[in-house]
Structure 1
Amino acid sequence: MNSKFRIVPDRVSIVNYKIKYLGGEEYKQIAHLIPPSLTSKINPTDVYEVELDGKVYFHVREIEDGDFVGIDLQGIFYKITSDPYEIVALEVEDLTEYFN
Protein backbone atom coordinates (compact mmCIF):
# COMPACT_ATOMS: atom_id res chain seq x y z
CA MET A 1 0.00 0.00 0.00
CA ASN A 2 1.24 3.42 -0.89
CA SER A 3 1.30 5.71 2.15
CA LYS A 4 1.14 8.85 -0.02
CA PHE A 5 -2.54 8.30 -0.77
CA ARG A 6 -5.40 7.91 1.63
CA ILE A 7 -8.98 7.40 0.53
CA VAL A 8 -11.59 9.14 2.63
CA PRO A 9 -14.86 7.28 1.92
CA ASP A 10 -17.17 10.18 2.79
CA ARG A 11 -15.32 12.41 0.32
CA VAL A 12 -15.49 10.06 -2.67
CA SER A 13 -18.06 11.08 -5.26
CA ILE A 14 -19.95 8.31 -7.02
CA VAL A 15 -22.15 10.63 -9.07
CA ASN A 16 -20.70 9.58 -12.43
CA TYR A 17 -19.86 5.92 -12.50
CA LYS A 18 -20.16 3.05 -14.93
CA ILE A 19 -20.49 -0.64 -14.26
CA LYS A 20 -18.33 -2.81 -16.46
CA TYR A 21 -18.88 -6.53 -16.24
CA LEU A 22 -15.81 -8.65 -16.76
CA GLY A 23 -16.16 -11.72 -18.90
CA GLY A 24 -19.17 -12.18 -21.11
CA GLU A 25 -17.20 -13.55 -24.06
CA GLU A 26 -19.25 -16.74 -24.06
CA TYR A 27 -22.44 -14.70 -23.99
CA LYS A 28 -21.44 -13.06 -27.26
CA GLN A 29 -21.44 -16.50 -28.91
CA ILE A 30 -25.10 -17.12 -28.05
CA ALA A 31 -26.62 -13.63 -27.76
CA HIS A 32 -28.20 -13.86 -31.21
CA LEU A 33 -29.94 -17.13 -30.20
CA ILE A 34 -31.71 -15.77 -27.13
CA PRO A 35 -35.32 -14.65 -27.60
CA PRO A 36 -35.80 -10.91 -26.96
CA SER A 37 -38.13 -11.71 -24.04
CA LEU A 38 -35.20 -13.35 -22.20
CA THR A 39 -32.28 -11.05 -22.99
CA SER A 40 -32.87 -8.85 -19.94
CA LYS A 41 -33.19 -11.93 -17.71
CA ILE A 42 -29.80 -13.43 -18.53
CA ASN A 43 -26.69 -11.96 -16.94
CA PRO A 44 -23.85 -12.19 -19.50
CA THR A 45 -21.34 -12.94 -16.74
CA ASP A 46 -23.35 -16.04 -15.73
CA VAL A 47 -22.88 -17.59 -19.18
CA TYR A 48 -20.12 -20.14 -19.57
CA GLU A 49 -19.37 -23.11 -21.78
CA VAL A 50 -19.91 -26.67 -20.58
CA GLU A 51 -19.13 -29.82 -22.55
CA LEU A 52 -21.31 -32.81 -21.70
CA ASP A 53 -21.33 -36.10 -23.58
CA GLY A 54 -19.24 -34.55 -26.34
CA LYS A 55 -21.63 -31.64 -26.96
CA VAL A 56 -21.18 -27.98 -26.03
CA TYR A 57 -23.85 -26.22 -23.99
CA PHE A 58 -23.83 -22.76 -22.48
CA HIS A 59 -24.96 -22.32 -18.89
CA VAL A 60 -27.46 -19.44 -18.85
CA ARG A 61 -29.41 -19.85 -15.62
CA GLU A 62 -28.73 -21.68 -12.36
CA ILE A 63 -31.70 -23.68 -11.11
CA GLU A 64 -30.45 -25.33 -7.91
CA ASP A 65 -27.76 -27.69 -6.61
CA GLY A 66 -25.71 -27.49 -9.80
CA ASP A 67 -28.71 -27.99 -12.09
CA PHE A 68 -29.09 -25.35 -14.78
CA VAL A 69 -30.76 -24.16 -17.93
CA GLY A 70 -28.44 -24.30 -20.90
CA ILE A 71 -28.56 -23.50 -24.58
CA ASP A 72 -26.71 -25.04 -27.51
CA LEU A 73 -25.43 -23.34 -30.64
CA GLN A 74 -28.62 -24.28 -32.48
CA GLY A 75 -30.67 -22.18 -30.04
CA ILE A 76 -32.30 -25.09 -28.23
CA PHE A 77 -32.72 -24.65 -24.48
CA TYR A 78 -32.20 -27.57 -22.09
CA LYS A 79 -32.76 -28.37 -18.46
CA ILE A 80 -29.55 -30.07 -17.32
CA THR A 81 -29.61 -31.94 -14.02
CA SER A 82 -26.92 -33.84 -12.16
CA ASP A 83 -28.98 -36.21 -9.98
CA PRO A 84 -30.33 -37.91 -11.94
CA TYR A 85 -28.05 -36.92 -14.81
CA GLU A 86 -30.34 -35.74 -17.58
CA ILE A 87 -30.30 -33.32 -20.48
CA VAL A 88 -33.88 -32.54 -21.48
CA ALA A 89 -34.84 -30.16 -24.29
CA LEU A 90 -37.24 -27.43 -23.20
CA GLU A 91 -40.10 -25.95 -25.17
CA VAL A 92 -40.19 -22.16 -25.38
CA GLU A 93 -43.25 -22.00 -23.12
CA ASP A 94 -41.36 -24.03 -20.47
CA LEU A 95 -38.74 -21.29 -20.17
CA THR A 96 -41.00 -18.93 -18.23
CA GLU A 97 -40.82 -21.32 -15.26
CA TYR A 98 -37.07 -20.74 -15.01
CA PHE A 99 -36.83 -17.07 -15.95
CA ASN A 100 -39.54 -15.42 -13.85
Structure 2
Amino acid sequence: MTHNNSNNFNQENAYIQAQKRLKDLKGFYWHAFFYVLINLFLLVMIAINSGDNFWHIGTFSTPFFWGIGLAAHAMGVFGKNLIFSKNWENRKIQEYINKDKTRWE
Protein backbone atom coordinates (compact mmCIF):
# COMPACT_ATOMS: atom_id res chain seq x y z
CA MET A 1 0.00 0.00 0.00
CA THR A 2 2.82 2.43 0.75
CA HIS A 3 4.29 1.82 -2.68
CA ASN A 4 1.07 3.09 -4.28
CA ASN A 5 1.01 6.24 -2.09
CA SER A 6 4.64 6.92 -2.92
CA ASN A 7 3.89 6.45 -6.63
CA ASN A 8 0.93 8.87 -6.40
CA PHE A 9 3.13 11.41 -4.62
CA ASN A 10 5.80 11.17 -7.30
CA GLN A 11 3.20 11.56 -10.06
CA GLU A 12 1.65 14.57 -8.34
CA ASN A 13 5.06 16.10 -7.76
CA ALA A 14 6.05 15.47 -11.39
CA TYR A 15 2.78 17.04 -12.57
CA ILE A 16 3.33 20.14 -10.43
CA GLN A 17 6.89 20.47 -11.74
CA ALA A 18 5.67 20.06 -15.33
CA GLN A 19 3.04 22.77 -14.78
CA LYS A 20 5.70 25.13 -13.42
CA ARG A 21 8.00 24.46 -16.38
CA LEU A 22 5.13 25.08 -18.80
CA LYS A 23 4.28 28.37 -17.05
CA ASP A 24 7.95 29.42 -17.23
CA LEU A 25 8.14 28.47 -20.92
CA LYS A 26 4.96 30.40 -21.77
CA GLY A 27 6.33 33.39 -19.86
CA PHE A 28 9.52 33.28 -21.92
CA TYR A 29 7.58 33.02 -25.21
CA TRP A 30 5.43 36.03 -24.26
CA HIS A 31 8.57 37.94 -23.30
CA ALA A 32 10.16 37.12 -26.68
CA PHE A 33 6.93 38.06 -28.51
CA PHE A 34 6.75 41.48 -26.84
CA TYR A 35 10.49 42.00 -27.36
CA VAL A 36 10.07 41.57 -31.12
CA LEU A 37 6.79 43.51 -31.35
CA ILE A 38 7.86 46.54 -29.30
CA ASN A 39 11.36 46.77 -30.74
CA LEU A 40 10.03 46.60 -34.30
CA PHE A 41 7.61 49.40 -33.44
CA LEU A 42 10.40 51.48 -31.87
CA LEU A 43 12.76 50.94 -34.80
CA VAL A 44 10.05 51.89 -37.32
CA MET A 45 9.17 55.02 -35.33
CA ILE A 46 12.84 56.01 -35.08
CA ALA A 47 13.33 55.36 -38.80
CA ILE A 48 10.34 57.54 -39.67
CA ASN A 49 11.34 60.40 -37.38
CA SER A 50 15.14 60.38 -37.44
CA GLY A 51 15.90 61.28 -41.02
CA ASP A 52 19.55 60.61 -41.73
CA ASN A 53 20.42 59.92 -38.10
CA PHE A 54 18.95 56.38 -37.92
CA TRP A 55 22.29 54.60 -37.47
CA HIS A 56 22.97 56.29 -34.16
CA ILE A 57 24.05 54.09 -31.21
CA GLY A 58 20.96 55.14 -29.26
CA THR A 59 18.73 53.64 -31.91
CA PHE A 60 19.72 50.14 -30.88
CA SER A 61 20.19 50.61 -27.14
CA THR A 62 16.71 49.36 -26.20
CA PRO A 63 16.90 46.17 -28.30
CA PHE A 64 20.45 45.55 -27.10
CA PHE A 65 19.88 45.90 -23.36
CA TRP A 66 16.45 44.30 -23.46
CA GLY A 67 18.06 41.48 -25.47
CA ILE A 68 20.47 40.89 -22.58
CA GLY A 69 17.46 40.58 -20.28
CA LEU A 70 15.76 38.22 -22.74
CA ALA A 71 18.91 36.08 -22.90
CA ALA A 72 19.00 35.95 -19.09
CA HIS A 73 15.33 34.91 -19.11
CA ALA A 74 16.15 32.15 -21.62
CA MET A 75 18.96 30.89 -19.38
CA GLY A 76 16.55 30.86 -16.44
CA VAL A 77 13.95 28.87 -18.37
CA PHE A 78 16.16 26.52 -20.34
CA GLY A 79 19.07 26.50 -17.89
CA LYS A 80 22.19 24.62 -18.69
CA ASN A 81 20.24 22.50 -21.19
CA LEU A 82 20.43 25.45 -23.55
CA ILE A 83 24.11 24.65 -24.09
CA PHE A 84 24.93 21.45 -22.18
CA SER A 85 22.00 19.09 -22.75
CA LYS A 86 21.53 15.74 -21.03
CA ASN A 87 22.38 14.04 -24.32
CA TRP A 88 25.68 15.94 -24.46
CA GLU A 89 26.44 14.93 -20.86
CA ASN A 90 25.77 11.26 -21.61
CA ARG A 91 28.02 11.36 -24.70
CA LYS A 92 30.85 12.95 -22.71
CA ILE A 93 30.51 10.38 -19.91
CA GLN A 94 30.67 7.57 -22.46
CA GLU A 95 33.69 9.21 -24.08
CA TYR A 96 35.53 9.38 -20.75
CA ILE A 97 34.64 5.77 -19.95
CA ASN A 98 35.98 4.67 -23.34
CA LYS A 99 39.20 6.65 -22.83
CA ASP A 100 39.76 5.10 -19.41
CA LYS A 101 38.97 1.65 -20.74
CA THR A 102 41.55 1.91 -23.56
CA ARG A 103 44.12 3.34 -21.18
CA TRP A 104 43.85 0.30 -18.86
CA GLU A 105 43.80 -2.32 -21.60
Where on the TM-score scale, by shorter chain, does this alignment land: which range? under 0.3
Structure with the larger RCO, 1 or 2 (CA within 8 Å, 6+ apart):
2
Q: In proportion to residue count, which structure has more helix? A: 2
Q: Point out the structure with max Rg over C-alpha.
A: 2
Taking structure 1 as the reference length, what is the TM-score of the superposition?
0.22
How high is the TM-score relative to the length of structure 2? Answer: 0.22
Q: Which has the higher strand share?
A: 1
